[in-house]
Structure formats: C-alpha cells, structure tokens
C-alpha cells in the first residue's frame, strides 16, 4: 500500500507539473501571438500613415 501511495503521489505530481507547464506554454504562445499581432497592426498603421503623409507632401509640392 505504501508503494502504491508513493507511486500515486508521484504520478499526481508529474501530472500537475505537466498541466502547469502546458498551461504556461499555451499562455506564453498566446501572449506572443497577441504581441506580434499588435506589433504588426502598429507597424502597418505607422506605414500607412507615413505613406499617406508622403503622398500629401508630394501632392502639396507638385
């Protein structure tokens, strides 16, 4: 019984550890994806504003 108890506790600990690591990995990937998505949108927005400003400048100078 003692051996089974130790084994059960070990398996339980490993399971909890695996679930925790899995959750952290998913969370990290989610945050990374959101960050990349935000940066992409920000970059595209800045690029669009820059292009728009350049176009206005060209039109104004012409």
Question: What is the model's pLDDT at position 18?
Answer: 95
Q: Work out the angle at residue 24's Cα, subtended by the Cα atoms of residues 28 and 40, and round it to the nearest 5 degrees.
A: 10
pLDDT in the model for residue 54: 85
Rounded Cα–Cα distance for residues 55 and 7 (Å)? 71
DSSP state of 43: H
Please name the residues in contact with 36: beta carbons below 8 A apart, sequence gap of 6 or more. none
pLDDT of 36: 95
Residues 17-31 pLDDT 10s: 999 999 999 999 999
- Say what the pLDDT of residue 62 is: 59
Q: Which residues in the chain land under pLDDT 50? A: none
**Entry pTM:** 0.51
DSSP 1: -
């Amino acid at each position: 019984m003692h051996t089974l108890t130790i084994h059960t506790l070990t398996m339980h600990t490993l399971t909890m550890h695996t679930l925790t690591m899995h959750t952290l990995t998913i969370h990290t990937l989610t945050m990374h994806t959101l960050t990349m998505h935000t940066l992409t949108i920000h970059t595209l927005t800045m690029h669009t504003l820059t292009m728009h400003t350049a176009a206005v400048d060209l039109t104004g100078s012409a």
